[in-house]
Structure 1
Amino acid sequence: MTKQKTVLVTGATGLLGKQVLQLLVTQDYKIYAVKRTYSIIPLESEKINWVLINSFEDNLFEQIPIAIDFVIHAAALVSYKKSDKEKIFQINTRWTTKFAQHASEARVEKFIFISSISALAKNSKDNLIDETTPKSEKEFLSNYGKSKRKAEEKLWELSKNGLPILIFNPSVIIGPAKRYQSSAQLFGYVSDQKPFYTKGVINYIDVRDVANIIVGSLENKIVNEQFVLNAGSISYRDFFKAIAKQLNVRAPYVGVPKFMVIFGAIIENIVSKLSGKPATLTMETARMAGNDKIFNVEKSNNIFNPRYKNLDHSIEWTVKEMQKKGEL
């Protein structure tokens, strides 16, 4: 009889982690999912064993009674607020490194790390970015992007010492989440009928497509590789229009240059402090506005042959699910 394989999932209560769990429970895996004590369990299943993490110093492998074959490390702090810098590096870099070291000691078969396109180098003359684009000291990286890039560097070091790694860099992941989390902030922005949009494009992928590729990668022979995941790109104006159509509200209609976006970030952060509501626009997101980079996914498409979901369908699904939870 073939031994049942075990999977350990971090970030299991987040946008991507929840979707990964929904796929795993349909397959023959013994699943261990990590959550903080205050996090709500998103999926009840007898196949899922929940593991509580109280400190980033914890060795999760010591809390699990059997050996772990595969790790999907999707936990991260996605924030572009300057005040979150220390927490961003604590979670995304230092904890990832320590967790990967523990995984190496536990001799896992594969350690899958969910990074981000924010970590990729941007020094491309033709605006096409892929896994091999050279880095430049002059390129702008958010603290989130820096934290993810540093984590990648640490993982490559560990891979040289025997940890089999697989790194995915997804673009903006579209899917239902809380209003002020991840890409859901963009849906909230349109829902609030804000008038402004900036030039540039958004690179996107449906969360279900990302989950399919991750889970499908568990038992293949691919290790010590890195893949950009991206379904397509669209102007912010048209992206907001598509969301507005589903919400039946007016789309942002005033195009603004980058310097105006930065000015808007200053104003919004003042309003945020006065109102107590999180700011959708921060100085870091303002500096990223006007992006015209396109992400080349030839490498991942050749290996995984994904059938990406249509953007309109992704937006429709996301809106309906967020409306059900009262987030829109």
Structure 2
Amino acid sequence: MKKTAFVTGGTGFIGINLLHKLVAEGWEVTALRRSTSDLTYLKSLDINWVVGSLEDRLSLEKGMPENLDAVFHVAGDVNSWKKQYAAQTETNVTGTRNMVEIAVAKKAKCFVHTSSISAWGDVRGLTTEDTPQRGDVAWGNYEKTKWAGEQEALKGVNLGMKVVVMNPSIVLGPYDSTTWGSAFIALQNDEAPFIPPGTSCFVHVDEVIKAHIAAVDKGRSGEKYILGGENASFKVFMDEICRLLGKKTPPVASVFLYKFLGKVLDFVAIF
């Protein structure tokens, strides 16, 4: 018998890769999308599409099948503009609450929630699952809402549903057209004046997808799993990307300049 899954965020970077893998492995997949979603990379897949949104509970109640083997809640709003903070909170927090409550009502066996390493907020040194999270007091709304979304997801445990939280670091791979994919295009076109300071963790999307699917059977309910690969400075990372592109690596911005530009863009976003 085929395993069954309901997927949100299926038309985004991680979601597209997840849908391709689930279908390839023989899952019976129902996926949520908006009426305006771009299905360019998904047209060949046998997917039961449901039109709706995380904020529209009725569309979720009508679209989510009963007794699913897994719900993969991948959808999220990564916007960094202040004007969009309210909508971001609605998606990342209220939307997750809606998903959990409906998944419990539909008797889903496992709820795999895609959060982010950003839910830890501004922490120093090596981050592990045991590092205290500071996302609730983070400067950015994205970090705050990813932390709060996790709290909503984990409420499902007390309601009798298995919940596993995935915390990807910086994810790289195919179908990424908006985050690091756009950064690489900027480098290719000589449109990147500088690169950010600091260090992060980088992971290929294939490994992220494997972890999501493995979480259904092997993940421990109520646990969070950081999905990371190699730790490296942005300078080392960009040196390698620029080498592959045949480009010169832009200079590293000072921490002061980087924070200053962030404040300026934050101010501009108000208008």
State the TM-score, normalizing by the size of structure 2: 0.88
Q: Confirm or deny: 8 A CA contact 2:66 2:107 kept in the other structure.
A: no
Letter aligned with residue 75 of structure 1: A
Name the CA shift for 1:178/1:230 in 2 (closer, same or farther; >3 Å): closer
How far apart, CA to CA, are the structure 2 residues paired with 1:190 and 1:196?
Answer: 10
Matched with 1:34 is 32
Q: Quick one: structure 1 residues 171 and 141, their matched pair in 2 at CA, closer, same or farther if it must change by over 3 Å?
A: farther
Cα offset, 1:229, TM superposition: 0.7
Indicate how the Cα distance of structure 1 residues 86 and 187 shifts in structure 2: closer, same or farther if over 3 A, else same.
same
Give the Cα–Cα distance (whole angstroms) in 1 for the partners of residues 215 and 135 of structure 2: 33
**2 CA distance for matches of 1:197 and 1:243?**
12
CA distance in 1 between counterparts of 2:135 and 2:260 reads: 26
Closer, same or farther in 2 for the Cα pair 1:138/1:216, shift >3 Å?
closer
Contact kept? 1:119, 1:141, Cα under 8 Å: no
- Corresponding residue SS for 1:176: coil
Cα distance in 2, alignment partners of residues 246 and 205 from structure 1: 18
Task: Report if aligned partners of 1:204, 1:232 keep a CA contact under 8 Å in 2.
Answer: yes
Could you tell me how far 1:54 is from its partner in structure 2? 5.0
Q: For residues 121 and 237 of structure 1, do their structure 2 counterparts lie closer, same or farther at Cα, with a shift above 3 Å needed?
A: closer
1:205 aligns with 2:187: no
Distance 1:269 1:141, change over 3 A: closer
Deviation at 1:202, TM superposition (A): 2.3
Task: For 1:14-33, list aligned pairs within 5 A.
Answer: 14-33=12-31
Q: What residue identity is the alignment partner of 2:87? A: K
Q: Counterparts of 1:48-197 in structure 2 under 5 Å?
A: 48-53=47-52, 56-59=55-58, 60-64=60-64, 67-120=67-120, 122-123=122-123, 127-136=125-134, 140-177=138-175, 179=177, 181-193=178-190, 194-197=192-195
Per-residue Cα deviation, 1:92-118 (whole angstroms, up to 9, x for no partner): 111111111100111110000000000
- 2:237 paired residue number: 239
Gaps of 5+ in 1: 274-281, 284-328
Matched, 1:257 2:251: no
> Separation in 1 of the partners of 2:213 and 2:144?
26
Query: Aligned-pair distance for 1:141?
Result: 4.1
Alignment partners' CA distance in 1, 2:219 and 2:179:
31
Tell me, what secondary structure is at the counterpart of 1:218? Answer: helix
Contact (CA 8 Å) 1:37, 1:54: kept in 2 or not? no
Q: Which runs of 5+ in 2 are unaligned?
A: none
What's the offset of the Cα at 1:220?
A: 3.4
Q: Residues 58 and 161 from structure 1, CA distance in 2 versus in 1: closer, same or farther, beyond 3 angstroms?
A: closer
1:131–1:228 contact (8 Å) kept in structure 2 = yes
Where 1:51 maps in the other structure, the secondary structure is strand
TM-superposition CA deviations, 1:70-90 (whole Å, max 9, x none): 100000111222222111101
Q: After superposition, where does 1:210-229 map in structure 2 within 5 Å?
A: 210-220=208-218, 222-229=220-227
Deviations 1:248-282 (A, max 9, x none): 222213x3321112334466689xx7xxxxxxxx9
Aligned length: 267
| RMSD, matched Cα | 2.6
Q: 1:137 to 1:72 in 2, by over 3 A?
A: closer
TM-score w.r.t. structure 1 length?
0.73
